[in-house]
Amino acid sequence: MSKRIDVNDLNIFYGKFHAVQNVSMTIEPKSVTAFIGPSGCGKSTFLRTLNRMHEVIPGGRVEGEVLMDGRDLYSKEVDPVDVRREVGMVFQRPNPFPTMSIKENVLAGVRLNSRRMSHSAADELAERALRDANLWNEVKDRLDKPGSGLSGGQQQRLCIARAIAVQPEVILMDEPCSALDPISTLAIEDLIEQLKEDYTVVIVTHNMQQAARVSDRTGFFNLEATGRPGRLVEMDDTQKIFNNPAQQSTEDYISGRFG
């Protein structure tokens, strides 16, 4: 349940605006890859091309290839809906469906995929996803209460449970902790560590300590000036990026000497 991603010469646009330029990279299965870089350099934009969520925005389009185990996600025959079922996503702000109970939230994606499911199968699946998201013990007595009644950190783990309930190949996370307190952040970081045993995890983070803690590989994005497209400056083992980066701008960014 995890796939390798190869990105070749990807260019990303919002209408006429060229947001990200010529990105090529390889993301290994069962690893955690982190993207860091200053605000507005296109990390979120790039992340959203990996499950074709970018094109949901009016005017959003890409040029280039994203191969998942060799299959191009952007070829004509591929339905974006299928891509999103294989590549789950967790957003910056926790977004459980407010009108659904905790359990229904977890099952929301599964219900889209398979119409009919016995009660017991549904309960089992919800429990497993919640356990895998380290949330089960906190919510097991109130599965029928609304998901929006949970704390921010719990909501975010609920969203992770919802994403893994459909057993995707890859999980994308866009600054999943930026709206959370430190304790909840630690809980999510622990969770990411566990998730990589089964999934390919790609995470965008503003927090470099977090990138250093959770990721195996790190990609540094930058942009020369506002209005110019963002680029992938370098990508390497996390150790290497933080201790001995090849590029001066990476060094400047991680040491806080950034313009």
Ligand X SMILES: Nc1ncnc2c1ncn2[C@@H]1O[C@H](COP(=O)(O)OP(=O)(O)O)[C@@H](O)[C@H]1O
| Cα distance between residue 27 and residue 75, in whole Å | 19
**Residue 118: how many CB atoms within 10 A of its CB?**
8
Residues that bind ligand X (CB under 6 A): 14, 17, 19, 37, 39-45, 57, 230
Q: Which is nearer to Mg ion, 44 or 185 (CB)?
A: 44
1 binds, among another protein, Mg ion, ligand X, none (CB under 5 to 8 A by kind): none
253 binds, among Mg ion, ligand X, another protein, none (CB under 5 to 8 A by kind): another protein
Q: How far is the CB of 13 from another protein (least distance, A)?
A: 19
Q: What is the 3-state secondary structure (H, E, C) of 15-63?
A: CCEEEEEEEEEEECCCCEEEEECCCCCCHHHHHHHCCCCHHHCCCEEEE
CA angle 187, 188, 190 (to 5 degrees): 65
| Cα distance between residue 186 and residue 194, in whole Å | 13
Q: How far is the CB of 43 from ligand X (least distance, A)?
A: 4
- Three-class secondary structure of residue 10 per DSSP: strand
Given the DSSP bridges, would you call strands 230-237 and 87-90 parallel, antiparallel or unpaired?
unpaired
42 binds, among another protein, Mg ion, ligand X, none (CB under 5 to 8 A by kind): ligand X
Q: How far is the CB of 41 from Mg ion (least distance, A)?
A: 9
Q: According to the binding rule CB under 5 A, does residue 49 interact with Mg ion?
A: no
8 binds, among Mg ion, another protein, ligand X, none (CB under 5 to 8 A by kind): none
Helices (H), the chain: 43-49, 80-86, 102-113, 119-132, 136-139, 152-165, 182-195, 208-214, 238-243, 248-254
Hey, which residues does 219 pair with through a beta bridge?
A: 35, 235
Burial class of residue 144 (count of CB atoms within 10 Å of its CB; 0-12, 13-18, 19+):
exposed
70 binds, among Mg ion, another protein, ligand X, none (CB under 5 to 8 A by kind): none
Q: Which is nearer to ligand X, 49 or 101 (CB)?
A: 49
Q: Which is nearer to another protein, 77 or 137 (CB)?
A: 77
84 binds, among ligand X, another protein, Mg ion, none (CB under 5 to 8 A by kind): another protein
14 binds, among ligand X, Mg ion, another protein, none (CB under 5 to 8 A by kind): ligand X
| Cα distance between residue 116 and residue 129, in whole Å | 18
Q: According to the binding rule CB under 5 A, does residue 44 interact with Mg ion?
A: yes
Two tokens at 202? 């790609």
CA angle 254, 257, 259 (to 5 degrees): 110
Q: How far is the CB of 204 from ligand X (least distance, A)?
A: 6
Q: Which is nearer to ligand X, 158 or 180 (CB)?
A: 180
Residues that bind another protein (CB under 8 A): 38-39, 51, 53, 56, 81-82, 84-85, 88-89, 91-100, 108-109, 112-113, 146, 148, 159, 162-163, 166, 175, 178-179, 206-209, 212, 242, 253-256, 258
Query: What is the contact surface with Mg ion in residues (CB under 5 A)?
Result: 44
